[in-house]
Amino acid sequence: MTRTTLSAEASVEGAGLHTGLPCRAVFRPAAGPTGLRFLLPDGSSPIPALLENVSSTVRGTNLTLGGRTVHTVEHILACCAGLGVHDLDILMDGPEPPAADGSALPFAQAMMRAGLAEKTGQEISALPLPGPVELNDGEAFYRAEPAGGLFLSVVFDHPHPMLGRTEIALEIRPDSFLREIAPARTFGLREELDGLKAAGLAKGGSLDNAMLVERDRILCSGGPRFADEPVRHKALDLLGDLALLGAPLRAAVRAGRTGHRNNVNFAKLLSGPR
Ligand SMILES: [Zn+2]
């Protein structure tokens, strides 16, 4: 398929979810077949969004190269995977992209406003997937089979009475991504909040950028966008982590009890011993 970037620059500004630090993320069209890359203002070399650069998967996926880290990259990467953007330079003046509204929608809308551009003469091949790939780790499970497109089936099964078991299955195309996945916001449990803050996480978290799950209600600005918003956000995070493969995935993926660590480990299995 023809490699795709954006037609023009786009940007999103705001504080990061975990660091709370301000950041302007500029999406700059990439002329060459350079993949998805993060660039920091110190002029150092770009950090490619590839599995080999994953340095942490605690409550988000962080990339590190040459001692420089970008935090919580998965929502921007999910937009690229969902919309079919293969090459993009993401310039950031802070260490973590804006939390925005906790979903990927503000990034996706910025990219769609800029427009997508096919780069005639530059081709990208889907990731070779000769057969099924499975990962099982405790209650987490992942399976991928070769398919004609990218189909995600994600199960979310949580003992919390406000969460329970939900499932979403869809083909990832730009229209389905924008409608079904991009708007789903991140969430956290009330009882986890103190621990997260003590660990230096969620410093930028608020009801404007996350859903807070309490014993008998879910709090967030504007109310829930979907009855099953958490499982949709799990699909969003999985899609973003799979973008670290650096090539389009043509597979039917079924996964449950997902998290960033296993998402990345599964992507490593998919990338194979090549
Ligand atoms: Zn997320």
CATH code: domain 133-271 is: 3.30.1700.10
Cα torsion 193, 140, 70, 185: sign: negative
Calculate how far, in angstroms, residue 60's C-alpha sits from the geometric centre of ligand 1: 7
Mean pLDDT over all residues of the chain?
96
What does the pLDDT look like over 149-164, one tens digit per residue? 999 999 999 999 999 9
Task: Answer whether residue 249 shows pLDDT above 90.
Answer: yes
Instruction: Give the pLDDT confidence score for residue 272 in this predicted structure.
Output: 86
The pLDDT-based confidence of 54 (bands split at 50, 70, 90) is: very high
Calculate how far, in angstroms, residue 96's C-alpha sits from the geometric centre of ligand 1: 13
The yes-or-no answer on residue 260 being catalytic is yes
* Residue at 213: amino acid letter: V
Tell me how far the alpha carbon of residue 272 is from its chain's centroid: 21
What does the pLDDT look like over 11-26, one tens digit per residue? 999 999 999 999 999 9
The pLDDT-based confidence of 78 (bands split at 50, 70, 90) is: very high
Instruction: Give the pLDDT confidence score for residue 43 in this predicted structure.
Output: 83
CATH topology of domain 2-123: Ribosomal Protein S5; domain 2 (3.30.230)
Neighbouring-strand partners of residue 254:
143, 153
Give me the residue spans of the domains in the chain: 2-123, 133-271
Task: Answer whether residue 273 shows pLDDT above 80.
Answer: no
Task: Answer whether residue 274 shows pLDDT above 60.
Answer: no
- Distance separating alpha carbons of residues 72 and 237, to the nearest angstrom: 10
Q: Which of 18, 71, 86, 260 is catalytic?
A: 260
Instruction: Give the pLDDT confidence score for residue 44 in this predicted structure.
Output: 86
* Three-state secondary structure call for residue 120: strand
Calculate how far, in angstroms, residue 72's C-alpha sits from the geometric centre of ligand 1: 8
- Look at residues 262, 105, 99, 120 and name the one whose alpha carbon lies nearest to residue 181: 105
- Distance separating alpha carbons of residues 61 and 26, to the nearest angstrom: 19
- Look at residues 205, 177, 144, 145 and name the one whose alpha carbon lies nearest to residue 14: 205
Contact of 10 with 110, CB cutoff 8 Å? yes
Contact of 77 with 63, CB cutoff 8 Å? no
Calculate how far, in angstroms, residue 233's C-alpha sits from the geometric centre of ligand 1: 6
Instruction: Give the pLDDT confidence score for residue 179 in this predicted structure.
Output: 98
- Distance separating alpha carbons of residues 80 and 175, to the nearest angstrom: 13
Calculate how far, in angstroms, residue 262's C-alpha sits from the geometric centre of ligand 1: 14
Task: Answer whether residue 232 shows pLDDT above 60.
Answer: yes
Calculate how far, in angstroms, residue 17's C-alpha sits from the geometric centre of ligand 1: 10
